[in-house]
Chains A and B, each alone.
Chain A
Amino acid sequence: MEDSVITFLEKTLQRIPSSSLKSILSEWGFLSAEQLQDLHFQQSKHILHNKVLAFCEENGVRIRHVIQLDMIYNHEYPNKRNWSVYQFSGQQDDALVLNVTEFSQKFKVNLKDLLRHVSIGMKQFEDDAVWIRVAWGDNFTKPNQFKPTYVVYQLQTPYVFISNLNVKHRPLLSQALVIATKHDEIKEIQLRGRCLKSLKDLVLRRYKQSFQTHQLKPLQERNSPERDQGIVHEHAKRLADLKEVATQTFGDGPLPKLETAVFKLETKFKDPENRILTNRPEPFRCAVKFSSPSFLESLKSLVTLGIASAPVSPLLSSIPQKARNHFVISERGPGVPSTPAP
């Protein structure tokens, strides 16, 4: 039993939280049923891990088994990683009728041709996504299993979600993907986030969109709970108006979860009182970054509470429609954006 396999297994086990250890181990299927029964999941994590390691040694664990375990863990907890979205373009004729086994064969062959020491794991979880895990080495060293790149390819769509891709490995991975999926090229779109499900929803337009049609106002409810009868909002009409504006701009249902929005400005500095910076010919570079656990929801609450002035700037409200996080605003573009009023 190699030391590297043991360290890799230990590190993977340590990341799994105790609450889901049982389900992940049973899904992994490497330990036999008696061994699983032998583990008492109420014991301390340290004792449990030692037991699992002992069982794995008995069963003769190899790197590929640990890779499977790592993939199951990452599939269960995809929100711990930062994902970027890539899009294929220029599909060839038979790209839509993609056979998964054919795709995985081609991908593995291509990548191994380009770089000798890569370790590739592939698994198809739900019916529509293929998870690929690539651990990179170079021509002389073995693959580094502790910093793998994850690729999630949505079947039947031209979108791929990639996490933790190093700049120098990017052309290799892109080439392998493009050849295996029979497209012409792959491009990164300016959308990044942590919540994989939200990224998928945004890109495939699966969330509940807001349409600018006339919304019928619901009938005024009576003050139903008795204790609310003493509480009166002075500005009730204004609050109701703000809520309506918020729902018109952002839609009714839960919004996709994005962590940041970055606007890079490359416009000229415009302030009539400041003469030193205004007359420069080159653009004034600055970046505005919004960050929050769920940026779109917080923006909607800001409008509802009246802290941000409505109507919201189209740069912010069009984020769900455009499915982008990072924008570059230049002189010929939408002009100088306005931030919400304090």
Chain B
Amino acid sequence: MSVLKTFNKLPELNTANIMLVGSDVSDLEKLSRSIMDENHSFNVNVRLAQSLPLPVENEDSRPRIDLLVFMVNLRSSYSLSLAESSLKFIDPHYFLGKVYFLATGARSSHLSSDLLPSLRKLSASSHSPVLFADLESDSDRLSVARRFLTLLRIAAGLVPGASALFLNTLLKGAPASANEDPPN
């Protein structure tokens, strides 16, 4: 089983790599365009995937992935189940602040009532924050792209004094509810 490993490749100079995983190809492309369009002082590479595990052919050409974002569409339970099953194929070191969930479609009125709680449970159990966004308008995409670029800079180690784990403890998201396991 090919697992995405954190530290088995060398980092490149002034470069950061982000991988977006989600079932909707058009959403992935929209977000990646906005990220690439935004001004950044370092090189950014975006890899797009529909699910993990990744095909073995790309193993050599793939750089070290600094940030993993799982895009979950709150209107489709398929995207949530895809994200859940993909979590198994990640090296545990990623969960120290390099995995984020992005929930889209929260403004829709046809919201299925149990997707958001399951997503929150998933994020609490994997200690990865959930960000909410809508990729419809240009300004929405711009703000999401900026947030991710800031997170990416820190996760790639390009900001002296800050690391992804440090940021993770600050960005705890919703406080843990009573029926969850207490964080150790």
Contact of A233 among B26, B45, B48, B78 (CB under 8 A): B48
**Contact status A231-B48, CB under 8 Å:** yes
**Contact status A235-B45, CB under 8 Å:** no
With a cutoff of 8 Å between Cβ atoms, the chain A residues found around residue B50 in the complex are: 234-235, 238, 306
**Contact status A232-B48, CB under 8 Å:** yes
With a cutoff of 8 Å between Cβ atoms, the chain A residues found around residue B62 in the complex are: 234
| B interface size (C-beta, 8 A) | 24
With the chains together, A237 CA to B49 CA distance in Å? 11
Contact with B along A217-247 (1 / 0, CB 8 A): 0000000000110111111011100000000
Contact with B along A295-312 (1 / 0, CB 8 A): 000000000011100000
With a cutoff of 8 Å between Cβ atoms, the chain B residues found around residue A305 in the complex are: 23-26
Residue in A closest to B15 when the chains form the complex, CB atoms: A230
A342 interface residue, CB < 8 Å from B?
A: yes
Residue in B closest to A227 when the chains form the complex, CB atoms: B36
**Contact status B55-A237, CB under 8 Å:** yes
Contact with B along A68-82 (1 / 0, CB 8 A): 000000000000000
B32 interface residue, CB < 8 Å from A?
A: yes
Given known contacts A305-B25, A307-B78, is B55 in contact with A230 (CB within 8 Å)? no
Contact with B along A120-147 (1 / 0, CB 8 A): 0000000000000000000000000000
- The distance from the CB of A341 to the nearest CB of chain B, in whole angstroms, is 10
B146 interface residue, CB < 8 Å from A?
A: no
B47 interface residue, CB < 8 Å from A?
A: yes
B46 interface residue, CB < 8 Å from A?
A: yes
Residue in B closest to A230 when the chains form the complex, CB atoms: B45
With the chains together, A239 CA to B50 CA distance in Å? 10
Contact of B44 among A230, A234, A239 (CB under 8 A): A230
B54 interface residue, CB < 8 Å from A?
A: yes
**Contact status B46-A230, CB under 8 Å:** yes
Residue in B closest to A233 when the chains form the complex, CB atoms: B48
Given known contacts A227-B36, A227-B37, A231-B36, is B25 in contact with A239 (CB within 8 Å)? yes
With the chains together, A233 CA to B49 CA distance in Å? 6
With the chains together, A228 CA to B36 CA distance in Å? 8
With a cutoff of 8 Å between Cβ atoms, the chain A residues found around residue B177 in the complex are: none
B58 interface residue, CB < 8 Å from A?
A: yes
With a cutoff of 8 Å between Cβ atoms, the chain B residues found around residue A237 in the complex are: 55, 57
Residue in B closest to A239 when the chains form the complex, CB atoms: B25
With a cutoff of 8 Å between Cβ atoms, the chain A residues found around residue B32 in the complex are: 231
With a cutoff of 8 Å between Cβ atoms, the chain B residues found around residue A234 in the complex are: 19, 47-50, 54-55, 58, 62
- The distance from the CB of A285 to the nearest CB of chain B, in whole angstroms, is 29
**Contact status A232-B46, CB under 8 Å:** yes
**Contact status B25-A232, CB under 8 Å:** no
With a cutoff of 8 Å between Cβ atoms, the chain A residues found around residue B24 in the complex are: 305
- The distance from the CB of B5 to the nearest CB of chain A, in whole angstroms, is 15
With the chains together, A306 CA to B33 CA distance in Å? 21
With a cutoff of 8 Å between Cβ atoms, the chain A residues found around residue B44 in the complex are: 230
Contact with A along B142-184 (1 / 0, CB 8 A): 0000000000000000000000000000000000000000000
Interface residues of A in 326-342 (CB under 8 A from B): 342
B43 interface residue, CB < 8 Å from A?
A: yes
**Contact status A230-B36, CB under 8 Å:** yes
With the chains together, A235 CA to B19 CA distance in Å? 12
Residue in A closest to B28 when the chains form the complex, CB atoms: A233
**11 A-B residue pairs with CB within 8 Å:** A227-B36, A227-B37, A228-B36, A230-B44, A230-B45, A231-B29, A231-B48, A237-B55, A237-B57, A306-B25, A307-B23
Q: Which 10 A-B pairs have the closest CB atoms?
A: A234-B49, A231-B46, A231-B32, A230-B45, A233-B48, A227-B36, A234-B54, A232-B47, A230-B36, A235-B50
Using A231-B46, A237-B57, A305-B25 as known contacts, list a sample of 9 further A-B pairs with CB atoms less than 8 Å apart, ordered by residue number in A.
Answer: A228-B36, A230-B36, A231-B32, A231-B47, A234-B58, A235-B50, A235-B54, A306-B23, A307-B78
